[in-house]
Amino acid sequence: MHQVRTLRRQVVSTVAATILIAAGWAGAALGFQEAPELKALAAAGKLPPVEKRLPREPLVLKPLESVGTYGGTWRTATFGGGDSEIERSIGYTRLVRWNPEWTEVIPDIAKSVEVNDNATEYTFTLREGTRWSDGAPFNADDLVWWNENVLRNTKITPAAPDWLIAGGKPVVVDKIDDYKVVFKFAAPNGLFLMNMATVRGSDILAAAPAHYLKQFHKDFNPNGIDALVKAAGATDWAQLFNNKIGFPGRWRDLGRPTLDAWVLTAPYNGTTQVAAERNPYYAKVDTSGNQLPYFDRVTIDVMQDTQAIILKAISGEIDMQNRFIETTDARAVIVQNQQKGGYGLFIARPAWSNALLITLNQTHKNPALRAVFSNKDFRIGLSYAINREELNQLIYAGQAKPYQAAPREGTALYDEKMATQYLEYDVKLANQHLDKAGLTKRDAEGFRLGQDGKRITFAIDALTGSPIQVDALELIQRYWKAVGIDMQPRPAERSLIFSRLQNNDNDGLAWVGGGGYDFLGLLDPKWYFPHEYESSFATAWGLYYQNPKDPNAQEPSAAAKKQMDLYQQVQKAPTLAKQLEAMKELLAITRDEFYVIGTNLEPDRVGIVKTNMRNVPKVIPSTSFYMTPGPAKPETFYYK
């Protein structure tokens, strides 16, 4: 009766995998190999031998192209003091992670995970002999300690994150034996493993090294804690503790034990350079039994200006990276300078779909605008009025293609009609739909009048930081003027845009997004239904979904309510197949409601990779949900 779903590495089920595992075992029998520096340290007695540092059955990673050689530094760059680049490049270690293709969740530090059939209990099996980067053992007690003393300690965690809550209660972790734990939820939580694979999942292992963190916890160090708080200049012990485990504070703490491939040697203080060196206890090996990672060191230069990062890239000072240099305006210079910078390109495929989508707030406080925006014919008319091909040529150098805010082609959720409806540029059809929406009267300047006899005029917010969006919006202003609609582009600073959203004061928004990859749609459905206030096509309904008592919330439409029910089904479903099934039903409503006007499919972006670097995939999804480039296994990259 206990039907069990087991997530295993994809290869495990194949014959080839059996051979791989056998090779791994053979490696164990013959002795594992390690980097020369570590070998010297072990020979000098400063480190235990490699067999003692690795788990009994280390995770065997199959390099994409070939088994590598040790050495070299991976140089990247990041922007400012709170960016997630460090978490993505050297911090992508969890119990479970994404596979490189982003089609499933696979075990990482855990050996396997089993889910019961109503998605309330997740049983993780750990690898015996896994060690923290300081050599201390990692086992079930660490996870239980995190759960009892960090997650469920209200001093440290006043409110647990949503993905760890189900049925109103935070998850409870029980120990079964030293290498087996079960995460128990009070209600089904089907998206738990996916959430763990995203940026959110880092928080568990970062707060799990009990042997290190106990000194900063009042319950475990009642006498010494005050001195530590004082020395750190923190307001209280809870803040000190959160600085040790939270992002980005944990990257400013040099002593913190991790399970990552490289261990911090220069902290992320937000000014100069972050550096990390090989973790001698890293629990993964390649198919020949070589302990990973191959690179000796990783450095991340902290820049205050993204232009400087682009300059760094073309001067050959960056070895592999896509973030900050993949923008549409930088593309030409990055592509041109390949030879000089000594790099080639890989495709960083945007995980979302639309390069520019436009929302019109159907829950607008002004009843006249609300009535107009809620009219589907109005939105269809505006969609037909956009000359997407011209936008594509002028803004995206012809690299994009007309597309609605819909899942990408080739994904499980892809719906051709949804992606291609109302895409043609047809002014006559546009006028017909706008007339059908009841906007037949026009003023002296040719702009259409609303039911109240006043001109329909509204502003679309766009980020001042994205000049491309503003340019595109100005073209759209012209297209819409041609059909008698007065839209004003309103570039604004992003905090201002967000505070307008929180108060339901927005007319509409120009943004990137609109689903894309399956997992992005499942985890971040804000463009598919009113999920939060960022669902700016119906801000007040989104507020309602998060908290019906919010002062700005409004009762959603029947269709939106149905979608909200369906999304709760997605969250409860125990298998990916069932989740996708419910999601498809939800998307059919999105398609019929046509909430969001899409323009063009975001063109593929490019990242750079040094010509002699190996094992880097040709295509890597680009989004924080995937944690680019973490799941592409940087620990297996090497220089030839």
B/e letters for 598-632, b = 16+ CB within 10 Å, e = fewer, are: bbbbbbebbbbbbeebbbbbeebbbbbbbbbbbbb
CB of 162 to another protein, least distance (A): 5
Residue 273 is a binding residue for another protein (CB under 8 A): yes
Could you say which of 163, 403, 480, 529 contacts another protein (CB under 8 A)?
163
Residue 186 is a binding residue for another protein (CB under 8 A): no
Residue 593 is a binding residue for another protein (CB under 8 A): no
Residue 286 structure tokens: 């390649």
Pick the stretch among 158-166, 204-212, 369-377, 568-576 that binds another protein (CB under 8 A).
158-166
- Closer Cβ to another protein, 142 or 524, answer by number: 524
Neighbours of 161 (CB within 10 A): 12
- Closer Cβ to another protein, 265 or 366, answer by number: 265
The DSSP bridge partners found for residue 33 are 290
CB of 606 to another protein, least distance (A): 18
Quote the crossing angle between the two packed helices 388-395 and 467-482, to the nearest 10°: 150
CB of 428 to another protein, least distance (A): 37
Could you say which of 44, 271, 428, 558 contacts another protein (CB under 8 A)?
271
DSSP state letters, 295-329: -SEEEEEEES-HHHHHHHHHTT--SEE-TTT-STT
Residue 165 is a binding residue for another protein (CB under 8 A): yes
CB of 312 to another protein, least distance (A): 4
Residue 304 is a binding residue for another protein (CB under 8 A): yes
Q: Which of 144, 148, 147, 184 is nearest to 166 (CA)?
A: 184
- Closer Cβ to another protein, 284 or 323, answer by number: 323
Pick the stretch among 129-137, 311-319, 411-419, 631-639 that binds another protein (CB under 8 A).
311-319
CB of 241 to another protein, least distance (A): 11
- Phi, psi angle pair for 422, to nearest 5°: 55, 35
Whether 556 and 563 have beta carbons less than 8 Å apart is answered as: no
Residue 18 is a binding residue for another protein (CB under 8 A): no
The DSSP bridge partners found for residue 175 are 181
Residue 326 structure tokens: 């993949």
Pick the stretch among 50-58, 215-223, 238-246, 362-370 that binds another protein (CB under 8 A).
238-246
Residue 159 is a binding residue for another protein (CB under 8 A): yes
* Interface mask toward another protein for 38-77; x: CB under 8 A: -------------------------------------x--
Residue 307 is a binding residue for another protein (CB under 8 A): yes
Residue 162 is a binding residue for another protein (CB under 8 A): yes
CA pair distance 410, 518, nearest whole angstrom:
10
Specify the DSSP class assigned to residue 386: -
CA pair distance 539, 505, nearest whole angstrom:
9
Q: Which of 232, 271, 274 is nearest to 87 (CA)?
A: 274
- Closer Cβ to another protein, 13 or 272, answer by number: 272
Q: Is 8 left (phi over 0), alpha (psi -120 to 50) or beta?
A: beta
DSSP state letters, 324-364: TT-STTTHHHHHHTHHHHTEEEEEEEESSSEEEEEEE-TT-
Question: By CB under 8 A, how many residues form the interface with another protein?
Answer: 65
- Closer Cβ to another protein, 34 or 534, answer by number: 534
CB of 32 to another protein, least distance (A): 31
Pick the stretch among 217-225, 253-261, 557-565, 617-625 that binds another protein (CB under 8 A).
617-625
CB of 273 to another protein, least distance (A): 4
Window 408 to 437, contacts with another protein (CB under 8 A): none
Window 472 to 531, contacts with another protein (CB under 8 A): 494-500, 502, 512-513, 524
CA pair distance 518, 438, nearest whole angstrom:
38
Residue 386's alpha-carbon distances to 94, 151, 356, 421, 598, in angstroms, are 44, 49, 12, 13, 10
Residues that bind another protein (CB under 8 A): 75, 80-84, 157-163, 165, 199-200, 233-235, 239, 242-243, 246, 249, 265-266, 269-273, 275, 299, 301-305, 307-308, 311-312, 315, 317, 351-352, 463, 465, 494-500, 502, 512-513, 524, 532, 534, 546, 623-625
